[in-house]
Structure 1
Amino acid sequence: MRRLSGPTDHVVVVGAGLSGLSAALHLLGAGRRVTVVERGDSPGGRAGREEFAGYHLDTGPTVLTLPHLVDEAMAAVGERLEDHVELIPLDPAYRAAFADGSSLDVHTDPHAMEAEIRRFAGPRDAAGYVRLRAWLERIHRVQMRSFIEANFDSPLDLLTPDLARLAAMGGLSTWARQISRFVRDERLRRVFTFQSLYAGVPPTRALAAYAVIAYMDTVAGVHFPKGGMHAVPRAMAEAALQAGATFAYGSTVTTLERSPAGRAVAVRTAEGARIACDAVVLSCDLPVAHRLLGGGPRRLLPLKYAPSAVVLHIGGERSWPQLAHHNLSFGRSWQRTFRELTQTGDVMSDPSLLITTPTVTDPSLAPPGRHLHYVLAPCPNLATGPHDWRSIAPRYRDSLVSELQRRGLDGFGAEPEVERLVTPADWAAQRHAAGTPFSAAHTLGQTGPFRPRNLPRGWPNVVLAGCGTTPGVGVPTAVISGRLAAARITGLPVHTSTHRAGTRRTTTAPLAGSPA
């Protein structure tokens, strides 16, 4: 594994999202001095928080899997996630509802899930689930060991014994084909392949290796942090602060100052600060990182971005007993849905939706007697479907609400106390490329060593982190990307973070206008 050359005593991390905070914690644990520069007023990045009239809205991801990865990052500075955040295991992890009126609870416990599938689809698919679960566990072990928790310097790094193991398990086939080997019921196949939306590729074209995401959801289990998802980056920032990090919130990095030798020697902010450094971690979105670097990498084909999403937040008195914490509401069409999202650029004509009701688990997220609902509707990104969302958003919101009412949520969206609609236009305004928060799609040509690398060419002391680089999109992978970035600087192993460091306590220091 290549590492940065030259001194790396003081590292500036640009961005206080999950990947930047992970990098900061691992760097602190390895004895580096760390300054985190964040343009927002608080940590979190995509995992942000907004508050309206007593409602606490998570503005980014709502599903937390593999929380031990966050715990590993905090352990680098002698902290434990459980000392900062109460994690609540969700059972069911999801409740799936289908257009034919049937429903399925997705359990993490293997015996409960086998029994549920036997009730739902019969004994043959229940037995198939047992085999599928074992396959997912094997896929996860191989993927994590050699492909997800890995810094690639060359495509040749793929040539390991685990590549042969992955191929032998069918990991280089398509996701849909492999799932169909185990379960016959088409509804069940959706439950174990809908996660391909996160990868930005239809399950009929996505590598079966990406079924590792289904492992995270359906085998490893889904958790909810009390206080909302934003509690996780807040805890990570607290741990980094206690370990000696300096945070500069409300500071937007505009320039990387470069020495004649090509090294980044300081970052400059829009507020007039110059922060000298020995190395830089850029955990900002790819377009922002490329602008700071003076351009992106040379590629034969331009980056292809994942579909985007419309998110509707609604708070009020209404709730519905059929809703669990996380709910999958599937339309009748499936293949057409993916064609619309990734090829034709049309909004879903028969939408499949994620409905999250966090107040089922944590009532404190809303005023007493009130409920909070989060509806995520995948949609084309602005490159695939350049819709004028500013003009169509109200009509789309109404059609979404009408569809939910047709699916049994009577009165949904009627006279809400709080409502917020987020569209690709809003994601674009937050500087997400192609108006999608899911970054570059995981096509074959944008996977592993073919994804934008975390060592940008021409900058000997700069490394990237975040969902646009290795290993990819999602909460677990964002946290891992921070660890991989830190390993490029420290040279420490990327597969473990069990080392401990003495903690130091300090306070945040405003850097706007500070001297070099």
Structure 2
Amino acid sequence: MPGPTDHVVVVGAGLAGLSAALHLLGAGRRVTVVERGEQPGGRAGRLERGGYLIDTGPTVLTMPDIADEAFAAVGEKLRDRVELIELHPAYRARFADGTSLDVHTGADAMEAEIERFAGGADAAGYRRLRHWLGELYRAERGRFLDADFDSPLRLLGPDLVRLAALGGLGRWHAQVARHLRDERLRRVFTFQALYAGVPPERALAAYAVIAYMDTVAGVYFPRGGMHALPRAMADAAAAAGAEFRYGRPVTRLERRGERITAVITAGERIPCDAVVLTPDLPVAYRLLGRTPRRPARLRHAPSAVILHAGCDRTWPELAHHTLSFGEAWRGTFRELTRTGELMRDPSLLITRPTATDPALAPPGRHLHYVLAPCPNTAIGPRAAEWTALAPRYRDSLLRELDGRGLAGIASAIEEECLVTPADWSAAGHPAGTPFSAAHTLAQTGPFRPRNLVRGTVNAVLAGCGTTPGTGVPPVLLSGKLAAARITGPSGDGVRSRPRRRIPGLGLRLGSGPGSGPGRTPEGARP
């Protein structure tokens, strides 16, 4: 980034913004974080209702080492601030035929479980699949996930050849089917394609790296709920010298030519040398006054209806995370991504965080989070239609859960919150989805919206809409990549002013001038 970069304003205190802030602080920049909400977290927010502490966003934490990189930038460790609990099993999969499978991330435990469930041939196939997923992750981690692409030409080289040799340019479902015969097992290793917004039959096999994160690397839960992660990141950033402005929506950016010179909030003008923008792309582009041209309009991922239910009981067949599959599969993806219909035979994610941390609910009570994928508002019911549709859909969802073993759930609910695409739309998410742009081939790698916008030389984007994509690990990496745009990949960017040392940390901060809408609503990707 040309010119001075001593003082950086980060717009939005979600996971991307907090990651960027920590990496910038570690590189000696002075950082001001501006957040329209009253707390950090963005999508990973917190709702308190009737003694229930509800995570409003992600419920699955994988690859905590990526979060730890952000803490390490300021000389801290993630586990010194957050108690991480590894989940065993990572998931419980329940199928329409009444069978169930515990998904273990340990190789021996999972092989034994698959042999019990589907026989020795699929157990051996799992070993081969696990090896392939590990090879795929190692091929992608440094060169594709943790990298910017300023041109498709950057794809060319030995890394792409290696990825192609691994089958990463084929189709996700086909690669999994090479190893597993049982259709139920194939679902366990391909349902993650929903996060990418593409059916497994059409998704690039390279995205099976998400299955590696979910089924091999381990699934974790922070004590205190997922919101404990952004809270800890904000605390670490503040301890390293960051200034936070909460309850400050950004109204505009002041510019001189191609440079942003100040961030304007209601009642404050914050001078800056550079800015990191983490709101959804339409908001970021509006603030910049520039929208990049694309050959085709962005296609967005499916959305979701989230039911947060605080209950006076629970059901013993539920693990911390339970995947409840309907009988339909390919038809479900067709409804979600093509025809825009609500799932007639839904597959659901049910999370019971109180299975791991009972303190998230009043004594003797239990918290449940039910995620039902649904079409986004570009192809399905419009935001205005959800006003009338929401109560009917909520009732049908409870009837479905009752029929799948959660008998009496409707009468067990004491506190609840329903989040629909109308709520996502009201929060400014395009197409009423918190999962942003789908990971189609035309929206992957160098073809995904870049984190730089032509015509502005000192602004960088971060978040799920830009590089590398959707999900907690990619969003954390997006903040790291945004910081590297400013500081250089090794943190040695241009500094035109003296730097001051943070006591006890040995870090230097810029002493130049100084600050951002970042929050998004309740409920998001599991």
Please tell me the TM-score bracket, short chain as reference: over 0.9
Percent of residue pairs bearing the same amino acid type: 70
Matched, 1:378 2:373: yes
Q: Distance in 2 between matches of 1:203 and 1:97?
A: 19
Structure 1: gaps (5+ residues): 495-499
Partner of 1:275: 270
Partner of 1:172: 169
Matched, 1:289 2:293: no
How far off its partner does 1:386 sit? 2.9
Q: Distance in 2 between matches of 1:19 and 1:511?
A: 16
Residue pair 1:107, 1:113 contacting (<8 A) in 2 also: yes
Q: Distance in 2 between matches of 1:297 and 1:228?
A: 37
Report Cα offsets for 1:36-83 as digits up to 9, x if no partner: 000000100000000001100000000000011111101100111111
Q: How does 1:219-230 map to 2 (within 5 A)?
A: 219-230=216-227
Report Cα offsets for 1:278-302 as digits up to 9, x if no partner: 0000011111101111132100100
CA RMSD across the alignment = 1.5
Partner of 2:118: 121
Matched, 1:262 2:266: no
Q: Distance in 2 between matches of 1:511 and 1:483?
A: 19
Partner of 2:182: 185
Matched, 1:361 2:356: yes
- Give the TM-score taking structure 2 as reference length: 0.93
Q: How does 1:237-256 map to 2 (within 5 A)?
A: 237-256=234-253
Matched, 1:466 2:466: no
Q: Distance in 2 between matches of 1:305 and 1:159?
A: 27
2:216 partner SS: helix
Report Cα offsets for 1:90-111 as digits up to 9, x if no partner: 0000000000000000001100
One-letter amino acid of the counterpart of residue 424, structure 2: W
Q: Distance in 1 between matches of 2:233 and 2:415?
A: 29
* Among 23, 26, 32, the residue aligned to 1:26: 23
How far off its partner does 1:413 sit? 2.2
Q: Distance in 1 between matches of 2:202 and 2:152?
A: 21
Q: Distance in 2 between matches of 1:58 and 1:356?
A: 11
Structure 2: gaps (5+ residues): 492-503, 517-526
* Among 448, 453, 475, the residue aligned to 1:451: 448
Partner of 1:346: 341
Partner of 2:49: 52
Q: Distance in 1 between matches of 2:57 and 2:281?
A: 18
Matched, 1:16 2:13: yes
Q: 1:254 to 1:287 in 2, by over 3 A?
A: same
One-letter amino acid of the counterpart of residue 158, structure 1: L
Q: How does 1:82-97 map to 2 (within 5 A)?
A: 82-97=79-94
Residue pair 1:37, 1:248 contacting (<8 A) in 2 also: yes
Q: Distance in 1 between matches of 2:329 and 2:277?
A: 37
Matched, 1:195 2:192: yes
Displacement over 6 Å in runs of 4+: none
Comparing 143-152 with 336-345, which one deviates more in the overlay? 143-152
Q: Distance in 2 between matches of 1:403 and 1:197?
A: 21
One-letter amino acid of the counterpart of residue 327, structure 1: T
Residue pair 2:8, 2:515 contacting (<8 A) in 1 also: no
Partner of 2:402: 405
- Give the TM-score taking structure 1 as reference length: 0.95
How far off its partner does 1:503 sit? 5.6
Q: Distance in 2 between matches of 1:234 and 1:394?
A: 33
Report Cα offsets for 1:377-428 as digits up to 9, x if no partner: 0000000113411101001001000001111110112141101100000011
How far off its partner does 1:511 sit? 8.3
Residue pair 1:330, 1:352 contacting (<8 A) in 2 also: yes
Partner of 1:81: 78
Q: 1:177 to 1:166 in 2, by over 3 A?
A: same
Report Cα offsets for 1:300-333 as digits up to 9, x if no partner: 1000000000000101211011000000000000
Partner of 1:497: none
One-letter amino acid of the counterpart of residue 357, structure 1: R
Q: How does 1:200-239 map to 2 (within 5 A)?
A: 200-239=197-236
Q: Distance in 1 between matches of 2:412 and 2:422?
A: 25
Matched, 1:390 2:383: no
2:16 partner SS: helix
Residue pair 1:344, 1:385 contacting (<8 A) in 2 also: yes
* Among 294, 303, 309, the residue aligned to 1:308: 303
One-letter amino acid of the counterpart of residue 288, structure 1: V
Q: Distance in 1 between matches of 2:260 and 2:505?
A: 27
Residue pair 1:48, 1:230 contacting (<8 A) in 2 also: yes
One-letter amino acid of the counterpart of residue 287, structure 1: P
2:306 partner SS: strand
1:342 partner SS: helix
Q: Distance in 2 between matches of 1:295 and 1:98?
A: 48
Q: Distance in 2 between matches of 1:504 and 1:449?
A: 34
